Structure 1
Amino acid sequence: MNAISVERRTALRGFALTAALLSGLALAGCQTAPTGEFNNIDKAQGSTENISSLSAVIQRNPQDPEAYNVRGSAYGRGGQYQAALKDFDTAIQLNPNFYQAYSNRALIQRFLGNQEAALADYNRSIQINSNYDAAYIGRGNLYRKAGRTTEAFNDFQKAIQLDTTDARAYHNRGLIYQSQGQHKFAIEDFSTAISLAPDAAEPYNGRGLSYLAMNDEDNAFSDFNMAIKLDGKNAEAWANQALIYERRGDKVRASKSYREAVHLDPTYQPAKDGLSRTSSATAS
């Protein structure tokens, strides 16, 4: 099984793009990954009905490590992290070389804040199978959140060299390029991520920020609009759309978009600042 896709947006805010001043306005950029990791959680995979059917499979064959790994993934998608850990533990006990289960358990450990345990599991997964792209991507995100940018970049690079079709590798490498001001490379990576995961909002939002940094306002605006279309609850995309309106002098629309961003995330400072700047336009 592939690494479970259970990253929540709130768990991904640790890699915010530093605000850049463009035309006197702060670039509203808080990048989320997509941590797979930027796809929406498939709640159906963790539904009571699905868990019950998977449990029935385990009852019929309690010595099958794959069955525990699958159910653990379903528990993870449903947010039942302790139950997921227990199943991954069992899968590994039954098959100590089950590298997918190590990688899956590492992701759950990350959610629970057990970073050292997560790193140990990713390392073990890679030790067993040095060509397992999901483990490199997961470990890269762990390094990235810890500020170990070079190691994170190397892991994403390794996954890409392995010809991964996982959009996370390109998206996350793009975030690193972006944070270093290498926007042309970032745009290339975000574009590849979009081609691999066209329904994910985050690569569009990320690419829009790099377009904006290069003063390509039209393409930036198009990407922010697409991010909103794909995920209407993406506060960062709403704030970035508002920034374009503000740069164009349309404070009424800017204020409405900033207001929506604040509604979605009352703690998002760029949206709060933007709303403060433009709210007078809609006062009447």
Structure 2
Amino acid sequence: MQAQVDTVRASTLPPAQLAEKYYNSGVAKYNSKSYQAALQDFDKALAAKPDFVKAYYNRATTRYELKSYVPAVQDYDQAIRLEPASHTAYFGRGQAREALGQRDEAEQDYTKAAEVRADYAPAWYYRGALRFEKADYKAAQADFDQAIKADANYAYAYHDRASAERQQGNFQAAIQDYTKALNLQPELLPALLNRAATRRRAGDLKGALGDYNSYISKKSDNATAYTNRGGTRYELADYQGAAADFTKAIELNASYAFALNNRAAAYLKLKEYQKAADDATKALTLNPQYAEAHLNRGHAREMLRDADGACQDWHKAADLGLEVGTTYAANSGCGGE
């Protein structure tokens, strides 16, 4: 009889190949959003090859996804140390620093990424967004210009450039950029809402109304959109339509004092004075310092023959900084408070 011999074959990869194996496995797991498993593979890759720059970068990216921002920054530091010309590492570190609230440091990283690779649109875009947050609209617009130069189909860059232009009073340019953003990405609904607001500020009320209608047809749960459409209808003297929109906003958000006060204003135009007084009172219950609500309730009370109540509201509006309250009080013969 022939004896069976058990043999065990050992196979040990060289460190560089072992690191590549774990790295590739980590990338596959990252792509399938198995971030913890990916992290373990990148750890093993770096244990086998401590100067593996791609593993540092991808481990940093994985840590960012896991919201482990401080370790992510540390890994990006290592990637940059090993490869100083890596624009993606600077950009990634900027993202992590921004997540940590380190806005100035993030801006520096985006700047460095753009310096290393001038045609890398995200670096310009994110730096522009930071500058927009600081109300440096001119600098923000310049960055969005560069992002669009690098990527002519960057819908978000057109959108945010439009917002920077709007802040500077360049309404027509803003409308054109919001339109471009929507052409590139029709489901970018904030662009539709912002274009409506810009058209309203530019005096194109019908255009604004059309945009609000389009937005609400696609997203009907936004109380602010109904309030803004109501304001547009109010300006178009469609007070019934305005009241209906403010009512919808209140249904979506019962504590929306602004919508309550706006509906009070619409009811005043519709000569429904008790409803106007009730809405203004509800708004004041939510915000006792709401000067405009005192003003509107004053008007409603005057029409309801409550002269003392009207005078009290107008004086209160004036005390809260709405000087026109003093004018109404004086014109109605109100005495001191």
TM-score by length of 2: 0.57
**What corresponds to 2:310 in structure 1?**
254
**What corresponds to 1:142 in structure 2?**
198
Is this contact kept in 1: 2:171–2:199, CA < 8 A? no
In the TM superposition, residue 240 of structure 1 has moved relative to its aligned partner by 0.7
Is this contact kept in 1: 2:294–2:317, CA < 8 A? yes
The percent identity for this pair of structures is: 26
Q: Is 1:275 matched with 2:329?
A: yes
Q: Is 1:130 matched with 2:186?
A: yes
The 1:78–1:120 alpha-carbon spacing in structure 2 relative to 1, beyond 3 Å, is: same
Structure 1: how far apart are the matches of 2:129 and 2:250?
25
Q: Is 1:58 matched with 2:110?
A: yes
The 1:54–1:166 alpha-carbon spacing in structure 2 relative to 1, beyond 3 Å, is: farther
Indicate which of 153, 167, 174 corresponds to 1:111: 167
Structure 1: how far apart are the matches of 2:241 and 2:149?
43
Is this contact kept in 2: 1:54–1:67, CA < 8 A? no
Structure 2: how far apart are the matches of 1:179 and 1:69?
36
**What corresponds to 2:207 in structure 1?**
151
Structure 1: how far apart are the matches of 2:224 and 2:299?
26
In the TM superposition, residue 195 of structure 1 has moved relative to its aligned partner by 4.4
Structure 1: how far apart are the matches of 2:281 and 2:332?
20
The 1:214–1:264 alpha-carbon spacing in structure 2 relative to 1, beyond 3 Å, is: same
Is this contact kept in 2: 1:238–1:257, CA < 8 A? yes
Structure 1: how far apart are the matches of 2:287 and 2:319?
15
Q: Is 1:176 matched with 2:228?
A: no
Indicate which of 262, 266, 269 corresponds to 1:206: 262
In the TM superposition, residue 273 of structure 1 has moved relative to its aligned partner by 3.0
Structure 1: how far apart are the matches of 2:252 and 2:179?
26
The 1:248–1:162 alpha-carbon spacing in structure 2 relative to 1, beyond 3 Å, is: same
Partner amino acid, structure 2, of 1:58: Y
**What corresponds to 1:237 in structure 2?**
293
Is this contact kept in 1: 2:137–2:164, CA < 8 A? yes
Structure 1: how far apart are the matches of 2:156 and 2:123?
12
| Secondary structure of 2:219's aligned partner | coil
| Equivalent pairs, count | 235
In the TM superposition, residue 131 of structure 1 has moved relative to its aligned partner by 2.9
Structure 1: how far apart are the matches of 2:181 and 2:211?
13
| Secondary structure of 1:280's aligned partner | coil
In the TM superposition, residue 94 of structure 1 has moved relative to its aligned partner by 4.0
In the TM superposition, residue 121 of structure 1 has moved relative to its aligned partner by 1.1
In the TM superposition, residue 265 of structure 1 has moved relative to its aligned partner by 4.5
Is this contact kept in 2: 1:73–1:84, CA < 8 A? yes
Is this contact kept in 1: 2:209–2:233, CA < 8 A? no
Is this contact kept in 2: 1:168–1:193, CA < 8 A? yes
The 1:194–1:277 alpha-carbon spacing in structure 2 relative to 1, beyond 3 Å, is: same
Is this contact kept in 2: 1:221–1:244, CA < 8 A? yes
Partner amino acid, structure 2, of 1:97: N
Structure 2: how far apart are the matches of 1:202 and 1:51?
32
| Secondary structure of 1:282's aligned partner | coil
List alignment gaps of at least 5 residues for structure 1. 1-45
The 1:213–1:162 alpha-carbon spacing in structure 2 relative to 1, beyond 3 Å, is: same
List alignment gaps of at least 5 residues for structure 2. 1-97
Higher helix share: 2
Partner amino acid, structure 1, of 2:258: E
**What corresponds to 1:23 in structure 2?**
none
In the TM superposition, residue 160 of structure 1 has moved relative to its aligned partner by 1.5
TM-score by length of 1: 0.66
Structure 1: how far apart are the matches of 2:291 and 2:160?
29
The 1:99–1:199 alpha-carbon spacing in structure 2 relative to 1, beyond 3 Å, is: farther
Of stretches 114-123 and 67-76 in structure 1, the one that deviates more from structure 2 is: 67-76
Is this contact kept in 2: 1:133–1:164, CA < 8 A? no
In the TM superposition, residue 214 of structure 1 has moved relative to its aligned partner by 3.2
Structure 1: how far apart are the matches of 2:156 and 2:229?
22
